[in-house]
Every structure is written in structure tokens, then in C-alpha cells.
Structure 1
Amino acid sequence: MKKMFLLALTGWLIFCTLQTDAGKEITSAPTAAAAVDRLLEGNKRYTQYEPIHPDESRLRRKELTKGQHPYAVVVTCSDSRVSPELVFDQGLGDIFVIRTAGNIMGEIELGSIEYAVEHLNVPLVMVVGHEGCGAIGAYVKGEHASGYLKTIIDSIAAESEIKALKIKGDQVFDHFVKANIQHGVREIIQSSPVIRERVANGALTVMGGYERLVDGKVEPLQSN
């Protein structure tokens, strides 16, 4: 009985240590490279069905009442299959998330990114698109839409990277998804003086990522 109690206690202490250590990582000033590594390491755990679900402890919640220090901004689609906290195996306070259908970039989204960059000193912004994106699919198929849904499709149609594609074949859908990601990266950098300045002085990296639905793996696409 005593042995079982000690084993249980040891397991609990290890768990608490993992939670605390994960929380400690965000109190430092991470580099963009370290932030990318941390995201991809979490994604690897997710794809291998070995998530650790960090930063979900009672201590972590209490710590975050004093403020937040996310190490990355993730801009991604609203699709229910691509929740970034799950895909990158991150917890409370780790990533600053912005989600819209088709990861469309507008003034509200840009302002949200500027807040994370300017006030929270986040060193990395990753725009993540995904396989089978419904918003991109609606554009590619020329589907009729009305109301605000039409606004989303029209926004995708207006992207210069989308307009530049002159390709056909089995992979055409993925090419459009990746062109949309590239547009998001360019739009973030070019539209915001705050972000552009930080990119120029090396304090910020803006890059893309493409997620495969079949296995959940995120492939880095590009960086500024």
C-alpha cells in the first residue's frame, strides 16, 4: 500500500513539474526560432498521439491572472478540425490565437496581431492554412454565396497570390490554399507599420504553415 502511494505521489510530482516548467518557458523572452521549434515539437506530439496538454494546472491558471506572455501568434481558420491549441499541443497562455474562415486578414485581425506584437512582445506570427479548407473550396468551385459569406469568397478572389495562379491538376486545391497563406503573410507585413518595423529590425518573424488533415502535421512554408 505504501509503495503504491509513493508511486502515485511521484507521478503527481512529475506532472506538476511538467506543468510548472511549461509555464516557466513563457516568462523568458523567446526568439522566433525557439518559438517555431516549440510549436513544431508540440505538433509532433499531436501527430504521434502523445500530447502532454501543458499549462492546464491550477497553478497555471493562478499565474495567468497576473498577465499573459504568449510566445507566438497563430492565425488560422475557424474550421473545427484545426484547433491550434490541440494541433500544437499548447495550453493556457501559450499562444495568441486569431481565427477566421479561410484565415482571412482584415483590419480587426491586423489590430489583434499588432496588440500581441507591440504589447506582449511576441516574436513569431504564423499563418496556418489547411488541407480541405471550405472557404478556399467555395472559391475554387465557384460556388454561389450571399450575405457575409460572399464577403469571404470575394476577399479570397481579390488576393493577388490567388489571381496569379495559372495551374490545373490534382494538386490545384493545395496550391490555392498555400497561395492564400502566402497572402496572409504578405498582408500582415505590408499593412502594418508596427509589424513591418519589427520585422525589419529582426525582432519579429512572420511565416506560413500548411496543415494536412490526414495526419495533422504542420509544414512550415516560409518566413520573412
Structure 2
Amino acid sequence: MKRSILFDTETTGLDPQTGDRVIEIAALELIGDLPSGRNFHVLIDPERDVPEEASRVHGFTRADLEGKPKFAEIAAQFLEFIGDDALIAHNAAFDFGFLNAELKRAGLPELSMDRMVDTLQIARARFPGMPNSLDALCRRFSIDLSARTTHNALLDCKLLAEVYIELSGGRQRGLGLSVEEGGTPTATYGYVRPAGHVTVRVTPGPAELAAHEKFVEGLTEPLWLA
């Protein structure tokens, strides 16, 4: 099943080319576009001051980051976690720019832009002319924002994961088909809802079974009847 990584960064400012640095990285593993439960999260010593205007955004001060590892010390662990899979972020070019600047500074290969999946661009294509910030999308999809008082990277990842599910076509996890004891066929739908994963079993009636048989008769050598 497809694996991808949804991630976010917090920084000391807006431009890595003028000396701004990454101070926080959070990443969630997605399997089939849904969170697997595995994540990577680290605070980083930026080796410089944290401007007050940046602290107002993400809530971290220089004192909060003293004694934390430097980027070069966590780079290998981060690269191992993300592997070679697609990298999803909101306004992804911003995060890619910062991470590539840090990787270059550490003497490591930069992330290929071919791996980038930008949820902001997806949202703009789906909702042209409308606000498409993370906050705006959460409100549009009725996702709880009550814990988001600052731009914490791990929380933002968890919110973006819910947004990404909606942008990818809704909260249906998938469809499974099975035959229970006694030969009764069932369809199993898995949904992700705010309260968690919910499985709904549906047993087709005589009319649905007859329609299915008629459909199968029209197929050429269906594999499941071989």
C-alpha cells in the first residue's frame, strides 16, 4: 500500500537564504493516505537567536531550544524516517526550501522537488478564490481547531492529515469484500470519523446479489471465479 510522509517545520523566520533556520520538524507516516500512528518529531537548536515576531507565531523562544540537538545531529534519523516516499506539506515549497538549506549546510543531498505534494495547491485548485490556509480548510471541513493556539508543527501535521483526507476524497478508508461462515457475502466499509475508525458491515439482499450475478456473467473470465 502507498506510503507517504506528511510534514511541517517551524523556523526562526521566512528566508533560509538570509540565515533563518529550522527549529522544529514534525512528520507523520501515511499508509494509503491515512495516518499509521508512526511519527517523527524533534526540536532543534538553530544556533542563532529566535526573533520575537517568530516566537509569537510558534511559541518557542531561544531559551526553549537551548540544549536541543543541532540539525546535523538529527538529519540521518529524519532522512531514514521519510525514506524515498512522497512528501506532503501545506505551502510545501516553504518547508522544502528550509529543509534543503539545512541539508546543504550539513553536507547532505537535498530533497528532490519531484517528491513534493503541496496541499495548498490542491486546495486552491478545488476552492479557487477562497481562503485556503490550514485554519480556513479546517473550518471548511469542520475539523476542531481549539488546540491550535500557536503554529506547533506536530499539531499542524495532525490537522493537515485530516484536511488531506478530505482533499483526497473524503473520510472513507476503503471497501473490503468477504464471505462469512454460512456463505453470506458482506461488504465492509471503514471510515475515519472524529471519534476514531468505524467499521460498518453491509449484507447485500437478494436483489443486489442477483444484479451482481448478472454483472459477473457479462465479464470475460473473471479471476475470482477461476
**TM-score normalised by structure 1 residue count:** 0.27
Q: Which protein is bigger by CA-based radius of gyration?
A: 2
Relative CO higher for 1 or 2, CA cutoff 8 Å, sep ≥ 6?
1
Higher relative helix content: 1
Higher relative strand content: 2
**TM-score normalised by structure 2 residue count:** 0.27
